Amino acid sequence: MKQLGKISVVLVLVLFAASCADKNSPNYQFMPNMYEPVGYETYQGVDNGLFPDGTEALLPPAGTISRGYMPYEFENTPEGKELARLNTSPLDSLNQEENLVKGAELYAIYCAVCHGPKGDGQGNLVKREKILGVPSYDDAARNITVGTTYHTIYYGLNSMGSYASQFANEEEMWQVSEYVMKLKEDLTK
């Protein structure tokens, strides 16, 4: 019986202490490093004396290249496109069948809606007259090469914008360029 009394007194004290806690203010912090940041926050604007105007993030130095990115060597000008005409595909010719299969898949996703599944300029959007003036790949005036096709995918041409951001990497753009040349070959037979 005496033990039951002791337990009840301890229980009442615990309930009393718990009822006095203020839920609107934080209690003790056992590990403050988990709650309070030690380093600077991005764009915090604290004048740390290292960078001008108290900034934390600066532009990269001129002439630097992001890791994993290789810049395209030709400019977005008519002269750059003419220089790209002589450019050949860097893909391995031993894997040409695999590249054409992958290029056909990507072409069906990104290009066929305007250029048509055969490259004849009769895609779904052209048939519905949403986009007009998409020429066929067999048009003699086009004189396209794998280099100019890659250049057009990279920068865009006329009303066609750049599709470089749609592809995961340069290899996919070259695969589509090779597939376009195969479509041109099929149309001119």
How confident is the model at residue 71, as a pLDDT?
Answer: 81
Contact 148, 160 (CB under 8 A): no
- Residue 44 confidence (pLDDT): 60
Question: For residue 181, what pLDDT is reported?
Answer: 92
Single-letter amino acid, residue 136: S
Q: Are 160 and 152 in contact, with CB atoms under 8 Å apart?
A: yes
Global pTM reads 0.66
pLDDT of residue 106: 95
pLDDT in tens, 26-61: 666 677 777 776 666 666 655 666 666 666 667 888
* Positions in the chain whose pLDDT score sits under 70: 1, 20-23, 26-29, 37-57
SS3 for 160?
strand
The predicted pLDDT at position 98 comes to: 94
Among 88, 83, 85, 189, residue whose Cα is nearest residue 137: 189
Question: What residues contact residue 172 under an 8 Å CB cut-off, 6+ apart?
Answer: 102, 106
Pick from 99, 141, 133: nearest CA to 114 = 133
What does the alpha-carbon distance between residue 35 and residue 33 come to, in Å, rounded to a whole number?
5
Q: Decide: 176 and 111 in contact? Cβ < 8 Å.
A: yes
